[in-house]
Amino acid sequence: MRIGQFLKKIDAFPKIVDIEVNKTFSGALLTITSSILMTFLVVTELKDYLTPQITEELFVDTTRGHKLKINLDITIPTISCDYLSLDAMDSTGEQHLHIEHDIFKRRLNLAGFPIEEPKKENIQSSTSAKLNETKDQKSKEDEKPVCGSCYGANHNETHCCNTCQDVIDAYRERKWNPNTDNFEQCKNERKLEGEFAKKAFDEGCHIFGTLEVNRMGGSFHIAPGRSFSLNHIHVHDVQPFSSSKFNTSHRINKLTFGEEFGFGLTNPLNNLEVTSKETAIMYQYFLKIVPTMFVPKEGSPILRTNQFSVTTHQKSAVAISGESAMPGVFFSYELSPLMVKYTEKYNSLSHFLVTICGIIGGIFTVASLIDSVLHKVERQIRKKIELGKFT
In the chain, the amino acid numbered 202 is D
Q: For residue 10, with 0-12 CB atoms within 10 Å meaning exposed, 13-18 middle and 19 or more buried, which class applies?
A: exposed
pTM equals 0.65
Q: What is the pLDDT of residues 241-285, one digit of tens each?
A: 677 788 999 999 999 998 877 666 788 999 999 998 888 899 999
Mean of the per-residue pLDDT values for the chain? 80
pLDDT at 197 over 50: yes
Q: What integer pLDDT is reported at residue 289 of this predicted model?
A: 93
Could you tell me the CA-to-CA distances from 65 to 68, 214, 216 in Å, in that order? Answer: 10, 9, 11
3-state secondary structure of 18: coil
Q: Tell me: the pLDDT tens digits for 311-353?
A: 999 988 775 544 567 889 999 999 999 998 888 887 788 888 9
Least reliable range by pLDDT among 145-149, 206-210, 314-318, 346-350: 145-149
Q: Which of 275, 231, 273, 225 is nearest to 249 (CA)?
A: 275
DSSP letter assigned to residue 19: P
Q: What angle do CA 323, 329, 334 make, to 5 degrees?
A: 85
* CA 364 to chain CA mean position, Å: 49
Cα–Cα distance, 338 to 302 (Å, whole number):
18
**So what's the pLDDT on residue 39?**
92
Q: Residue 135: is its pLDDT beyond 50?
A: no
How many Å apart are CA 39 and CA 182, to the nearest integer? 84
pLDDT for residue 183 is more than 80: yes
Contacts of 278 (CB under 8 A, 6+ apart): 247, 316
CB 225 within 8 A of CB 85: yes
DSSP letter string over 47-78?
Answer: HHHHSPEEEEEEEE----SPPEEEEEEEEETT
What one-letter code names the amino acid at 335? Answer: L
What dihedral angle (degrees, nearest 10) is formed by the CA atoms of 209, 213, 216, 218? -60
| Range in 28-32, 229-233, 277-281, 335-339 with the lowest mean pLDDT | 229-233
Comparing 1-15, 53-67, 101-115, the range with the smallest average pLDDT is 1-15
Q: If pLDDT is split at 50, 70 and 90, which confidence band does 77 have?
A: very high
